[in-house]
Amino acid sequence: MTNKTPKSTRTGVQSVERVFELLELVTDAGGDAALSELAASTDLPLPTIHRLLRTLVSLGYARQLPNRRYALGPRLIRIGEAASRQFGALARPQLKRLVDSLGESANMAVLDGDMVVYVAQVPSRHSMRMFTEVGRRAHLHDTGVGKAILAQLPDETVRGIVTRAGMPTPTEHSIGSVDDLLIELDAIRGRGFAIDDQEQEIGVRCFSMAVPGAPTPTAVSVSGPVSRVDEAFGERAVPLLREAATAIVAELAH
């Protein structure tokens, strides 16, 4: 945490801006931060930071850990869950367009701590289809959406995530080592999309793409049986995924 946040040039209630600045700094630090780390990352005076944090703690939006670090508080969970539902609702029209065009199930997922959580899905109309429950959490290293998200992060951050979360191998195709994962992420960055090639479940393939400019690391995907989701399918899916990601960001801007 070395880059200081610039002073706000927007009009608005200054104390509100400062509160959200601190919450974002704690979030960027991984969910908890020391007072000294926060002071090094913002131009806010130390007494102001301390006063605002004490207020957030008293309201339940932050908590102080036994080691004196400050962490995000439990009252933020309800707000975050509601925001995720709204984010998913915003994306559903784009997911439906993917299903209408490609015929396979479409999903959107976001980074949640060291896991990925699905926030929206539109299922395929095929009787044999992929179904992922909204709210389901999954590992990042063996899912299409997870790898698309990881490819947007620095290697050091990726190492930290998979070290904490672990790297289970549910199928023989799953990536089981950090080094192999980093090689895969380099390939994803080069081609612009991720593939889950039977890494979560035998017989299932998924094409996924990150949503650049989203407020939190996000990815959209289409998935289905390998008999239908093949290389030719991918050639059709990738540009449509890119259009969907662009449209979602544009909708957020409104």
Q: In what order do the strands lie in the sheet with 105-112?
A: 137-138, 115-122, 105-112, 218-225, 204-210, 194-197
Confidence of residue 188 (pLDDT cuts 50, 70, 90): very high
For residue range 46-94, list pLDDT tens digits in order.
999 999 999 999 999 999 999 999 999 988 888 877 777 778 788 999 9
Of 113, 101, 142, the residue nearest 32 (C-alpha) = 113
Three-class secondary structure of residue 221 per DSSP: strand
Three-class secondary structure of residue 224 per DSSP: strand
Stated pTM of the model: 0.76
Cα separation, 189 vs 55, in Å, equals 42
